[in-house]
Amino acid sequence: MLPWNLFAHGELFHTDGSLSWMLVAGVPFALYAAAHDRSARRLTSLLAAYTIFWFFTAQILRYLIPVVPLYCAVAAAGAGLFLRRFVSERILPAGSAILTMALWLPPLTIALRFAGTTGLPPSTPEERDRFLEKHLPSYGAVRFLNERAGDAYTLYSYHDPQMAYFTHGEFRGDFFGPWRYSRLEGALNAGEGALLDSLHEMGANYLLVRDDSAASGPMEEWLTRRFVVPYYCSPSVALFRVSIAPLRASYTPDLIFGDDTAVLESFTHTGMQLDVTEGRMYLCTCTGSAHPEFANAVLQLTWCDERGTHIRTDEASGVFLAKTTVLSLMCTSPPHASAALVALAPLGGSAPAITQVSVREVRFLPDHP
């Protein structure tokens, strides 16, 4: 079933795609080359040996990248042998040109379709950053770390190996090997001491955790830790800094006045605006209750630059109950942010009754005795 699954069920091999069906057209030519050319047989033997090794070790589709070019080389050699033997030399050049153009049509169609849904590839550093932040949630955290630490750091990325391409410092974290995720999984669910010891053992001074379920807001223990503290936050990504000295969370006074009755009544419709500084961490909390049973809502922080241009919107969804409920959102302001609009968007028919809104900047300072 392996050949069929590789082309028809790529999801079995930890990927969103699969091998191109165009590769199937080369199978007869690859077999022809293996039967008539000694060099092709050697390449075919190497290809088969690697595929068998891959089958019995780690069946991840991208690990077949080394052998796909070998297969294409064998298929191309077989096609050349076949055509030179059975096709007249008069029509061979024209036929090869037509076949080449035909083979270009499927990838060209895919490229145009991709450009229609995601836009053209970025051509400037600013466009590149916006594109990557849109498609890779963790990129903003790694970019933030690169700008402040350069290459003098070691990052352990938990279940986000793609960040290895963008990390300027040392990168650790993968499914296999000495930095495998299993070494950290138990510590993540244990106390801060176990997490600190595990990170020290792997030489990491920063920890990146991507968790899309974190949209419910910051975990309270993040703000009470003393050695593994948040350094960058977004609704689905948390970057932690490992400190050698104890730290404590420090909060600025409220940046908005959010307990006035008239202001709170319009909060769910127009929101509240405040001035912010780029690269700072902010904790937004919204306190309220639902009548009679519950109300679903989304807490939003919309970041804008000095011209009022929208940069991005961070959200945290939650449920307000009949008793007093607190919905929290902790995130780091993006580059060029100078203002933010905090608002609550009800989901469904009933809106919660809000009693207090607070936005404070969070910093982690040395905890001196």
Per-residue H/E/C for the chain:
CHHHHHHHCHHHHCCCCCCCHHHHHHHHHHHHHHHHCHHHHHHHHHHHHHHHHHHCCCCCHHHHCCHHHHHHHHHHHHHHHHHHHHCCCCCHHHHHHHHHHHHHHHHHHHHHHHHHHHCCCCCCHHHHHHHHHHHCCCHHHHHHHHHHHCCCCEEEEECCHHHHHCCCCEEECECCCCCECHHHHHHHCCCHHHHHHHHHHCCCCEEEEECHHHHHCCCHHHHCCCCEEEEEEECCEEEEEECCCCEEEEECCCCCCCCCHHHHHCHHHHCEEEECCCCCEEEEEEEEECCCCEEEEEEEEEEECCCCCEEEEEEEEEEEECCCEEEEEEEECCCCCCEEEEEEEEECCCCCEEEEEEEEEEEEEECCC
Query: Per-residue pLDDT for 347 more than 90?
Result: no
Quick one: fold of 125-244? Rossmann fold (3.40.50)
pLDDT score, position 199 = 95
pLDDT score, position 259 = 67
- Token code pair at residue 69: 């070019």
pLDDT score, position 106 = 82
**Residues 6 or more apart in contact with residue 199 via CB below 8 angstroms:** 156, 184, 187, 205, 207, 228, 242
pLDDT score, position 217 = 53
Query: Per-residue pLDDT for 236 more than 60?
Result: yes
pLDDT score, position 75 = 94
Rounded average pLDDT over 219-248: 91
Of 14-18, 145-149, 152-156, 363-367, the least confident: 14-18
Taking only the tens place, the pLDDT of each residue in 111-158 is: 888 877 877 888 999 899 988 988 898 999 999 999 999 999 999 999
pLDDT score, position 215 = 43
**Dihedral angle of Cα 47, 48, 53, 57, to the nearest 10 degrees:** 90
The boundaries of every CATH 2.60.120.260 domain in the chain are 251-362
Of 78-92, 131-145, 213-227, 296-310, the least confident: 213-227
Q: Which residue has the higher pLDDT, 154 or 106?
A: 154
- Could you tell me if 294 and 320 are in contact, meaning their C-beta atoms sit under 8 angstroms apart? yes
**Residues 6 or more apart in contact with residue 123 via CB below 8 angstroms:** none
Arch. (CATH architecture) of 251-362: Sandwich (2.60)
Q: How far apart are CA 124 and CA 122, in angstroms?
A: 6
Of 37-46, 259-268, 305-314, 318-327, the least confident: 259-268
Query: Per-residue pLDDT for 359 more than 70?
Result: yes
Rounded average pLDDT over 230-242: 92
Average pLDDT, the chain: 88
pLDDT score, position 263 = 65
Q: How far apart are CA 210 and CA 140, in angstroms?
A: 12
The boundaries of every CATH 3.40.50 domain in the chain are 125-244
Q: How confident is the model at residue 214 (pLDDT cuts 50, 70, 90)?
A: very low
Q: How confident is the model at residue 266 (pLDDT cuts 50, 70, 90)?
A: low
Query: Per-residue pLDDT for 271 more than 90?
Result: no
pLDDT score, position 218 = 64
pLDDT score, position 155 = 98
pTM of the model: 0.79
Rounded average pLDDT over 227-247: 93
Of 49-63, 168-182, 215-229, the least confident: 215-229
pLDDT score, position 11 = 85
